[in-house]
Structure 1
Amino acid sequence: MEKSLWTSCLVVLLLSPTCLSITADYLITGPRDDKCAALGGICQNDNQYCTGSYFSNKCAGPVTTRCCTKNITIRDTKECKNVMIISRDSWGARRPVKVLPLKTPVGDFFLHHTDTKNCTTAKNCISIVKSIQQYHMNDKNWWDIAYSFLVGEDGHVYEGRGWKTVGSHTRGCNDKSLAASMIGNFNDVLPNAAALSSVKRLISCGVEIGRLSPNYSLFGHRDVRDTDCPGNALYKNMSSWTHFHIHGPGCP
């Protein structure tokens, strides 16, 4: 419903049965917008999950009312030349409760694993990413999914909090670092070649676009916390990567 019609109905609500029915329909179904309907979507508050993908500027009302489609539409953030980062809108992420800007370039990059099932298709990876965001926000009471990025064995990177936002991935280091979490458990096996290639290209991109210092240090989560993360097999492998450091990072 257009804003002017909504305002008019508020004024004459008690006098117009027509407005009464329109108002009730608006409250029940949300603003109807042809642009969203053309995509086969519905307009909803983006503090909810979207079953498919979110699209902005397709719905009337506040900017937090966005078009949620039934099907997933993969879209690249286009921040990196050599690796696809699937946007938050693509995987239907909820709006974060709060955002703190990250001062970049940062000097440290942390690698994690999600300790979940592995995924080799975008559909399965997105399902896992959504479940992680739900766990972090609903159970942990964090503002958003913890990681800057997540990497699947489908070869795609999934945008978490991204390059510009403080994460909740490595306690004591969040305001001084970025982090990627490999989707799966990598205690006994390595991520496949596609995932390893993607995370390395993601890190290189961070340097290229000025979000990660050229002389950055690479760490595993276990380097600062009592955890087996990012998994024994992955940690052993990453110890041979450029910029890996066995000394402590520049945070507690």
Structure 2
Amino acid sequence: MATILLTYLLLIIPVNGQSPCDEISFVDRAGWGARKPTSITNLTRKPLSFYVIHHTYQPPNCYDDVSCIQRVQAIQDLHQIDRGWVDIGYHFLVGENGKVYEGRGWDRQGAHAPEWNDDAYGICIIGDFRTASPNEKALNAVDSWIRCGIALGHVKKDYYIITHRQSQRPGYTECPGDGTFNVVNKWSRFCSFQNSGANLTVNETRVSLGLNFCEKELGLSSSAPIHLFTPIVLFHLLLTYLF
């Protein structure tokens, strides 16, 4: 019995102790040849409570390193040159090659969802997902990167996931496409909040309305993931058995 418990602990603890950040192939700004931003505004309310999921629609999907870098560069051109923004709008972008590309990163204010840019990280999956869903590589990368943000302390443990269409008034956008939405809405921390577009009172913000709704819908999660308790309990069982 002791041998079985010890073997299980040796197998499970390294897996559970691995950071989700280590599961991802990450390409920083230098890696995809980003231009410098024309100005920088830092986030001031970290850790944040929300992730907002997007798709690019255009440029189209990418499945290899070369085409994904080209897509990210094209998005920066669109945002920075054509629209006159200070930089690419998203915090992170994800290709169907399974890689995460750094946009504005963890520390800077985004430009991806009006009224949410101070309080939510924008993750954009590269491609058109109005009907088809992102592939498994992209979805796994998004999931790992969401958990990475929590592990690094940039996002609260009691976080919520919404999509771009939910953050804005009905009909404003179909982003991230039905193909993405129909996957994301099954994730455990997905919140079904929808911005109604109604006028706000003096003390309200879209984010405060979203927080109130999501807290009621999902409640507060445990501060320690359930899977972490398993090796702890088994360790105590092993000590009891041996001593």
TM-score (norm 2): 0.69
Between the aligned partners of 1:111 and 1:211, the Cα distance in structure 2 is 17
Aligned to 2:51: 109
Query: Within 5 A, what are the aligned runs for 1:176-191?
Result: 176-191=119-134
Between the aligned partners of 1:156 and 1:119, the Cα distance in structure 2 is 11
Aligned to 2:214: none
Match for 1:231 among 167, 170, 177? 177
CA RMSD of aligned residues (A): 1.6
Q: Secondary structure at the match of 2:111?
A: coil
* Structure with the larger helix share: 2
Match for 2:145 among 188, 202, 222? 202
Match for 1:250 among 176, 188, 207? 207
Cα pair 1:172 1:251 within 8 Å, conserved: no
Aligned to 1:89: 30
Kindly tell me: are residues 85 and 251 of structure 1, through their superposed partners in 2, closer, same or farther at Cα, counting changes over 3 Å?
Answer: farther
Choose between structure 1 and 2 for higher RCO, CA contacts under 8 A separated by at least 6 residues.
2
Asked if 1:120 corresponds to 2:66, the answer is no
Between the aligned partners of 1:102 and 1:191, the Cα distance in structure 2 is 29
Between the aligned partners of 2:95 and 2:208, the Cα distance in structure 1 is 28
Aligned to 2:40: 99
Q: Secondary structure at the match of 1:190?
A: coil
Question: Structure 2: any 5+ residue segments left out of the alignment?
Answer: 1-18, 195-205, 210-243
Between the aligned partners of 2:167 and 2:121, the Cα distance in structure 1 is 14
Question: Structure 1: any 5+ residue segments left out of the alignment?
Answer: 1-77
Kindly tell me: are residues 233 and 122 of structure 1, through their superposed partners in 2, closer, same or farther at Cα, counting changes over 3 Å?
Answer: same
Q: Secondary structure at the match of 2:127?
A: coil
Q: Secondary structure at the match of 1:133?
A: helix
Cα pair 2:49 2:119 within 8 Å, conserved: yes
Kindly tell me: are residues 224 and 143 of structure 1, through their superposed partners in 2, closer, same or farther at Cα, counting changes over 3 Å?
Answer: same
Asked if 1:136 corresponds to 2:53, the answer is no
Cα pair 2:96 2:137 within 8 Å, conserved: yes
TM-score (norm 1): 0.67
Q: Cα distance, 1:80 vs. partner? A: 2.3
Between the aligned partners of 1:114 and 1:208, the Cα distance in structure 2 is 27
Between the aligned partners of 1:154 and 1:233, the Cα distance in structure 2 is 18
Q: Cα distance, 1:149 vs. partner? A: 0.3
Aligned to 1:217: 160
Asked if 1:161 corresponds to 2:104, the answer is yes
Q: Secondary structure at the match of 2:35?
A: coil
1:164-199 per-residue CA deviation (whole Å, 9 max, x = no partner) reads 110000111100110100000101101110000000
Cα pair 1:173 1:251 within 8 Å, conserved: no
Overall identity of the aligned pairs, in %: 36
Q: Which has the larger radius of gyration?
A: 1
Cα pair 1:221 1:229 within 8 Å, conserved: yes
Q: Secondary structure at the match of 1:96?
A: coil
Q: Cα distance, 1:247 vs. partner? A: 1.8
Cα pair 1:80 1:205 within 8 Å, conserved: yes
